[in-house]
Chains A and B, each alone.
Chain A
Amino acid sequence: MLLRYIFFRVLMLIPVSISISVVIFMIVHLLPGDPIDNLIRIGSSPDDRALLVTKYGLDQPLFVQYFRWLGAMFQGDFGEAIVLRRPVADLISQNLPYSLTLGAMAFAFSSIVGIILGTISATTRSALMEQFVRGFILLGSTVPGFWLALLMILFFAVQLQMFPVSGAKGWDSLVLPVLTIGFGGVALVARVTRVALMDARREDFVTLLHAKGLSSGTILFRHLMPHAMLPVVTILALRIGWILGGAVTVEFVFGRPGLGSLLIRALGQRDYPVVQGCLLMLALAVMLGTLIGDVAQAAMDPRIREAKT
């Protein structure tokens, strides 16, 4: 049943990936500017320029460029960075681990802490505790990430010198970026968990769970949490893309290497193949994220498993 669901769900990714690849390809070519301008030495002749344009295939019709790009991509060839003059695949594989570490840590941080806080706020009898969590949720959902990042750099890195200001050397350099990306996530996940738990508790079947003689704790962990996790999983899946998007600015602010830094630099230099490669990786991550989210939901909810197959 679940396998069937996964099969059809993966099948659906094909048209999605094709559209995404077209969009990524087009966006880059619609941007004003030209990478050759960054490449060419001052004083070169127009002939030199024409030579370079031909070399990188930029004189071909757009759809020819697209299919060449796509075909190469299937062979793992992301092309050659025009400005950096290295295979894009190398650049990506060099930078990706940094982004993945940061993303995974931020994801784990926001989901674990968020679910715990949300559960506490939905179940606590202490008004103070509830107020605290609600205040935190409000703060976390409204404070912009980059502002928080600067604030934390000023306080923890510059004033207290507890963590490095920038760079990616050692684990302690991860702390501030993870906190920055994760903070908003914690608030979001806590809020969704809280609401979902309170909704689940109002469901009819909860009366009968109590009537069976189950303790409140058993009901919470065996029955209410699985229900509450359905919307949380949806949010978390969407969050994967969001976190990588957040990583783009955060990597930049903290001067960390990574896909985000690579993308921003490549954008500045109009280095098409690099930008395309980076965007494609991000899109892939978002697609994988929603796929994992959907499959997780189907694994948890028999109604979804059946409805879609």
Chain B
Amino acid sequence: MLEVKDLAVAFGSVAPLSGVTFSLAKGETLGIVGESGSGKSLTAMSIMGLLSMSDGRVTAGSIVFDGQELTTLAEPAYCKLRGGRIGLITQNPMTSLDPLKKIGTQVDSVAILHLGMSKKAARANTVDILATLRIPEPALICERYPHQMSGGMKQRIVIAMALAADPDLLIADEPTTALDVTVQAQIIRLLDDLVKQRDLALLLITHDMSVVAQTCDKVVVMYAGRAIEQGPVLEIFDDPQHPYTQALVGCIPRDLGDGEKLTSIPGTVPTVLNYPSGCKFHPRCARNQDICTTEQPELVRNGDSAVACHFAGAST
């Protein structure tokens, strides 16, 4: 369904993303985790073909969606994919709807555009979708404006917009970060149900490892603009190979035994302007050797998983 290979992105001479590789199949949920600034949103924007909005561009690698190469796709064809076959859900529902337009109009336009529906049919479609998203009185909600609704409601509307043309792939970029904890759980459950009901592929970006553990089949761990480890969630959580992943998994506050302590990673995340040489994690890595400061480790496949570390697997 989706195949991303060696993706690299640059803004002018700044290159915040490189060597991102992963794949996603129908009915699967792939989690992308990583600290702030690790390139998660950039990956999503590359797939959506929206980098040019902020003057960025793909400089290397490929993105293949359903057999179609996206990095060289012309804009009109891309417009058909966006909203039609790939839906996007963004981080901040408070600002992601047009405040001047009614909810119904905003959702309707997707089906009108991609499914060629009449206004009336599109509205029926919208009401249906809002109902499946457990929004009470969907027909009434259509006549409301965004500022009259709560954050959780708005995020459901955004999800409805992403679903309106019945896409095959859903990209959710931290869909719950801006919401209350209770609402967060509802939205995640909703997305999970949708994947099962509609046989969607879901790319779920988050920095919450417990969400990944609950909902994802596979996970990609990103650090400083690179995918540094990936594989089936169970494998990665049981036996992480990369020192960064090991630390991250150690961070999850779950069934901590009496003597166990939450490990946190010393040091800070590098920014694009001061990416270290060699392995970008080496200043914070307990296992780092000379080679780590000079040579960038490549992502090496091992069964279903892959890891980019010169000394993968060893424990510290």
Contact = CB atoms under 8 A, between A and B. Distances in A.
A154 interface: no
Interface in A208-245: 208-215, 223, 226-227
B109 A208 contact: no
B158 A214 contact: no
Contacts of A301: 99-100
Interface string B90-108: 1010011111110000000
B161 interface: yes
A211 B145 contact: no
Given A204-B92, A215-B79, A303-B147, A210 B97 contact: no
B7 interface: no
Q: Tell me the dominant secondary structure on chain A's binding face.
A: helix
Given A211-B88, A302-B147, A205 B83 contact: no
A206 B99 CA distance: 11
Nearest to A215: B79
Given A207-B53, A208-B88, A302-B145, A213 B83 contact: yes
A208 B158 contact: yes
A213 B81 contact: yes
A212 B165 CA distance: 9
Nearest to B49: A210
A210 B100 contact: no
Interface string B29-62: 0000000000000000000101001000000000
B284 interface: no
A203 interface: yes
A303 B147 CA distance: 7
Contacts, number: 74
Contacts of B161: 208, 212
A70 interface: no
A109 B76 CA distance: 36
Interface string A288-309: 0000000000001111001000
Contacts of B83: 211-214
B53 A212 contact: no
B99 A204 contact: no
B98 A210 contact: no
Contact of B114 (A209, A213, A226, A302): A213
Given A211-B83, A212-B110, A213-B110, 10 more contacts: A205-B95, A205-B97, A207-B50, A208-B90, A211-B88, A212-B83, A213-B113, A223-B101, A300-B100, A301-B99
Interface of A: 203-215, 223, 226-227, 300-303, 306
11 contacts: A208-B88, A208-B158, A211-B83, A211-B162, A212-B82, A212-B83, A212-B110, A212-B113, A213-B84, A213-B110, A226-B100
